[in-house]
Chains A and B, each alone.
Chain A
Amino acid sequence: MSLAENTPRHIPDRLRSPLQAKLVSWESLLLAVGIGIFIFNSLASPYFLNAWNLSDATFNFTEKAMIAFAMALLIISGEIDLSVAAIIALASTAMGVAMEMGAGTPVLVLVGLGTGLLCGAFNGALVTKLGLPSIVVTIGTMSLFRGISYIILGDGAFRGYPESFSWFGQGYVFWVITVEFVIFAILAVIFGVVLHKTNFGRMVYAIGNNPTGALFSGIRVDRVKMILFLLTGLMSGLAAVCLTSRLGSTRPSIASGMELEIVTMVVLGGVNILGGSGSIPGVVIAAFVMGLVTFGLGLLNVPGIVMSIFIGLLLIGVIALPRLWAMRRKS
């Protein structure tokens, strides 16, 4: 209580430099894990260090990561969208219907994106206008969206997408660099900038940390959340375009279970599932790590079901290790 001082005390901006902070972060730990897996893979299989194989491997994560970026923002704000894979199914089905009606590639893309946006708007409206918890709303819409796909398609499938439509999922921009990978890279930059460099991103963090405090601070909380649901829907629509283009067909079971892989990617990337913290670089690294693990295990002929065990263990391990380490240091 030294009120005697007349000159105000100077408060420095920071004690640690931003670079120092980055060195001891989740992202660095994850990056180290990723490099470790990369080295392990290149030793374990002679086919790993091959440009074309690695290029193929990126398909393991590019579509998921597109959605994961938007999902990261949504989870940081304290909400979640579990209907994303179902949105892919519905958007893909809508594109199939449009294709049957003779739509060309540009219209197909618009239909895919538009369907995603509509689904996002529906989720967002239920959460922000009615005040329902997003986890419940999107578990509901997850069944709803995919259910519509099943009604339209039954056991059938849409095939025969136009030749030019295959560019999104099968095209290359340059040498081994795929179109999807370029979309992924561009989105990573855009979402990174939005979350870390704009007022909007700051508001997302504020809402996730304390929605009441954010509201009292003049942030239009519902509007921000609505935008995030729209973004997540839009990204799901985009992923639907890429996936449908890559597979060349639409079945109602398309992308099933993908929502959990996306949430896994986001959490592995260091985003707090309870909201409030996380980063896009973290999600980017997590995408690569998950892609490397699946690809490496694939080269070793590990079946898909076993692979999901590895992903699960990886998630638990990477999250539990720092906590265990902190506990040991304390005792």
Chain B
Amino acid sequence: MQDLTQKPDVKTQGGAVLKLDGITKSFPGVKALDGVELELHAGEVTALIGENGAGKSTVVKTLTGIYQPDGGSILLNGAPVRFATPQDAADAGVTAIHQETVLFDELSVAENVFIGHAPKNKFGLIDKKAMFDRTTEILNSIGAKIDAHVKLKDLGIASRHLVAISRALSVEAQVVIMDEPTAALSQTEIEELYELVDTLKAQGKAILFISHKFDEIFRIADRYTVFRDGQYVGAGLMKDVKEADLVQMMVGRAVEQLFPKREAEIGEEVLTVAGYSHPTEFEDINFTLRKGEILGFYGLVGAGRSEFMQSLIGITRPSKGAVNINGDVRVIRSPAEAIDAGIVYVPEDRGKQGAILDMPIFQNVTLPSLKKTSRDGFIQLANEFALAREYTERLDLRAASLDTNVGALSGGNQQKVVIAKWLATKPRVIILDEPTKGIDIGSKAAVHDFMSELASEGLSVIMVSSEIPEILGMSDRVIVMREGRMVAELEGDDMKPETLVRHAVGINSTGDAA
């Protein structure tokens, strides 16, 4: 790896509690980690930084025994270790606070903290007194004013979060991993979390802090490590680095022309969205989409993009706002009405929302088009096979037969079935939500190629993506969302990786209002 030579000297000074060396992890079709390095030091916070898909979560899962690495070694206090199960990792003192820890509403705080490893008395039964005492001790150590006897359902979000943290600390931890711990917290709760991090530092724990937010990284991290596309890019001390450098490292590459964007003739306005709002998920979304245009929606995970798109097709109702499609003002209350209006949505969650995995390909494709393929409500199999064949072959689907269940196909081919299903309804607007997430390179290229072809045939495309190369390579125009709001609309030369990231994370190193 060419970056190894750039490794700052501080990393080699020793004293690392935990060290990852050349860790590799592959999944079918994807190399999630490719020889990555990471060092965590006692009493210090190391921030792990990278775009969505850079491999951060995979590292966490490798460190906590959920995944086994294919290659490389994990050194704990200098000795190589293997974490075959999450329990192994916990026994070795590596613990994680996940984005969403599963807690149990009907159990008490102490039971939640010690679930699975409660102290036992001499009869092998749970030693309740010890459990409650230990819990109170842990709660005190992080300054949480919570009664260990209270049932979890009676606590608010912030207190629940502290319980999750206490659970992580209930094992004798040397290493604490915090995976986007502030994602669901309000500003005051975040401040409290920062204090907690300081407490843990003072106790000499090595902390891995994963976050998208630059302000908090600069606020609490001592060191940083940057990953990109499953590879180690660089590491160093926070005091030696500037935001702009980190953004550069995250985005890195020049955006290659991997993307077969064709020149499409952009025509009249097809869809206008005005003042679309939702009580909690998004606010005041306004844009116009033209015929033949590909409009990209960029933002971090949780920026409200999918929620907005799902509201546009009637899954959730907006509190305010209207849609004008081809000059016709409509309120869309259900996906059925969206299909009638010519707006279709290819969801991110293929298995749950996109396809019906246990049903055959042809039945998946024709599901929204049954009115067209049937006669007087009676199924016409020949029509169904014909329609399914027309669109799946156009997408170059690879399947043994059209009555194969969709669940038996690879991710990329499943996605082709879902796209075929929606194209068969002959829509005016197609919304693609993370259309190439988790699919192999070959299918990715096919999906991109096809998207381009559709636009040049006059279809209007909205593409939600967290992958910058994809957004920049495919879009005519990009809208950036952050925390439920549109924060930028970029066109032409303004569409640069740094600009997108800056708007998405909300920093303004140039001094402009972000």
Interface residues of chain A, those whose CB is within 8 Å of chain B, are 1-3, 8-15, 197-203, 205-206, 209-210, 212-220, 276-277
Contact = CB atoms under 8 A, between A and B. Distances in A.
B389 A11 contact: yes
Interface size class of B (residues with CB under 8 A): 35 or more
Given A11-B389, A15-B403, A201-B379, 19 more contacts: A2-B442, A3-B445, A3-B446, A11-B392, A11-B399, A11-B402, A13-B385, A13-B389, A14-B402, A199-B377, A202-B367, A202-B370, A205-B359, A213-B352, A213-B355, A215-B335, A216-B313, A217-B421, A219-B335
A214 B334 contact: no
Contact of B367 (A201, A212, A217): A217
Interface of B: 313, 315, 334-336, 338-339, 345, 347, 352-359, 362-363, 367-368, 370-371, 374, 377-379, 385, 389, 392-394, 396-404, 421, 440-442, 445-446
23 contacts: A2-B442, A8-B394, A9-B393, A9-B396, A11-B392, A11-B399, A11-B401, A12-B400, A13-B402, A15-B400, A199-B371, A199-B374, A199-B379, A206-B356, A206-B359, A209-B357, A210-B352, A210-B357, A215-B335, A216-B354, A219-B335, A219-B367, A220-B336
Contacts of B377: 198-200
A207 B116 CA distance: 37
A219 B364 CA distance: 12
A205 B354 CA distance: 16
Contacts of A218: 334-336, 338-339, 367-368
A200 B347 CA distance: 24
Contacts of A3: 396, 442, 445-446
Given A197-B379, A206-B367, A216 B403 contact: no
Contacts of B345: 216
A44 to B, nearest CB: 41
A203 B336 CA distance: 13
B433 to A, nearest CB: 11
A1 B334 contact: no
A199 B359 contact: no
A5 to B, nearest CB: 8
A15 B401 contact: yes
B402 A216 contact: no
A11 B402 CA distance: 7
Nearest to A5: B396
From DSSP, what is the main secondary structure of chain A's interface residues?
A: loop
Contact of A219 (B336, B353, B398, B402): B336
User: Residue among A11, A14, A197, A206 with the most chain B CB within 10 A?
Assistant: A11
B379 A12 contact: no
Nearest to A222: B334
Given A209-B359, A210-B357, A213-B356, A1 B442 contact: yes
A210 B339 CA distance: 19
A13 B362 CA distance: 8
Nearest to B353: A216
Contacts of B315: 215-216
Contacts of A202: 363, 367, 370, 379
A133 B315 CA distance: 20
B379 to A, nearest CB: 6
CB-based closest 3 A-B pairs: A1-B442, A8-B393, A218-B336
B388 to A, nearest CB: 9
Contacts of B357: 209-210
Contacts of A199: 370-371, 374, 377-379
Contacts of A1: 440-442
Contacts of A12: 400-402
A213 B353 contact: yes
B439 to A, nearest CB: 11
B29 to A, nearest CB: 9
Nearest to A217: B367
B399 A197 contact: no
A8 B450 CA distance: 13
A198 B336 CA distance: 18
A200 B374 CA distance: 11
A197 B378 contact: yes
Contacts of B398: 9
Nearest to B398: A9
Nearest to A8: B393
Contacts of B370: 199, 202-203
A294 B453 CA distance: 64
Contacts of B334: 218, 220
Nearest to A200: B377
B387 to A, nearest CB: 12
Contacts of A197: 378-379
A219 B357 CA distance: 16
Contacts of A209: 356-359
A219 to B, nearest CB: 7
A206 B362 CA distance: 13
Contacts of B397: 9, 11
A23 B345 CA distance: 39
User: Residue among A205, A212, A277 with the most chain B CB within 10 A?
Assistant: A212
